[in-house]
Amino acid sequence: MYTVYGSAKTRASRVIWMLEELEVPYVIEDVFPGTPEALTASETGKIPALKDGDQMIFDSAAILMHLADKHGGLTFPVGTPERTRLQSVLNFVTDDMEQPLWTAAKHSFVLPEELRALEAVMPALHFEWTKALKTLGRLLGDGPFLMGAKFTVADIIAGHLGGWAKAMDFPAPEPLVADYIARVRARDGWQKVDAMRKAA
């Protein structure tokens, strides 16, 4: 049995979505980043974290890769060209797509108030987000997923970010990318997480 630390309303939703895709049992313990409880669950104090037996795992992308390798789902074996490209695409998603959104969140409510500069930085964030979406469209190609026919961990994080961007009023994607984001978010796995979010 896995324990997910963090609520379905945070980036822990990616881990819950992954566990739903893999159809393995889990429990959720809601802890807040930076608290003593979070520092027990995660070496960095960041949330989400996952408990797998004796191991406490931090960072959502690393947790997804761990689960994918362990259960042989939503990834490709190490040593294949597909695995290498998946890692590249996943890093693009967590760097280029995620950072504009996360930076906006930090300047909205995470950083100490005197360090926030949301208005000054927002034009750059919208610019970077739009550029990232254009590159995402190129990576997607004919789809239907970022790695072609197979739904992978990279689609979970890209799909999560697509919804986050909409909630933050970031520029909308072009139709093909918007269709892709809608397609991954229509999956049963996300629909279950989304119901948890609305019930929370």
What residues line the site for a copy of itself (CB under 8 A)? Answer: 43-45, 55, 57-59, 61-63, 65-66, 69-70, 78-79, 81, 84-85, 87-88, 90-92, 94-96, 99, 103, 106-107, 111-112, 114-117, 120-121, 123-124, 127-128, 135, 138-139
Q: Of the two residues 111 and 172, which places its CB atom closer to a copy of itself in the complex?
A: 111
Q: At what angle do helices 118-140 and 98-105 cross, to 10 degrees?
A: 160
Kindly calculate the radius of gyration of the chain based on its CA atoms and give it in whole angstroms.
Answer: 17
Pair 110, 151: CB distance under 8 Å: no
**Helix intervals (H) in 115-171:** 118-140, 153-167
Integer Cα distance of 22 and 30 in angstroms:
21
Query: Minimal distance in Å, beta carbon 120 to a copy of itself?
Result: 4
Q: Of the two residues 88 and 191, which places its CB atom closer to a copy of itself in the complex?
A: 88
Q: Of the two residues 28 and 89, which places its CB atom closer to a copy of itself in the complex?
A: 89
Q: Of the two residues 138 and 198, which places its CB atom closer to a copy of itself in the complex?
A: 138
Q: Of the two residues 117 and 199, which places its CB atom closer to a copy of itself in the complex?
A: 117
Write the burial class of residue 36 (CB in 10 Å: 0-12 exposed, 13-18 middle, 19+ buried): exposed
| Residue matched to tokens 């909205």 | 108
Query: Minimal distance in Å, beta carbon 52 to a copy of itself?
Result: 8
Phi-psi region of 26 (alpha: psi -120 to 50; beta: other; left: phi over 0): beta
Query: Minimal distance in Å, beta carbon 145 to a copy of itself?
Result: 15
Query: Minimal distance in Å, beta carbon 194 to a copy of itself?
Result: 25
Pair 15, 50: CB distance under 8 Å: yes
Query: Minimal distance in Å, beta carbon 179 to a copy of itself?
Result: 20
Q: Of the two residues 65 and 185, which places its CB atom closer to a copy of itself in the complex?
A: 65
E strand or H helix that includes residue 165: helix 153-167
Could you tell me which residues come within 8 angstroms of residue 124 by beta carbon, excluding any fewer than 6 positions away? none
Query: Minimal distance in Å, beta carbon 97 to a copy of itself?
Result: 11
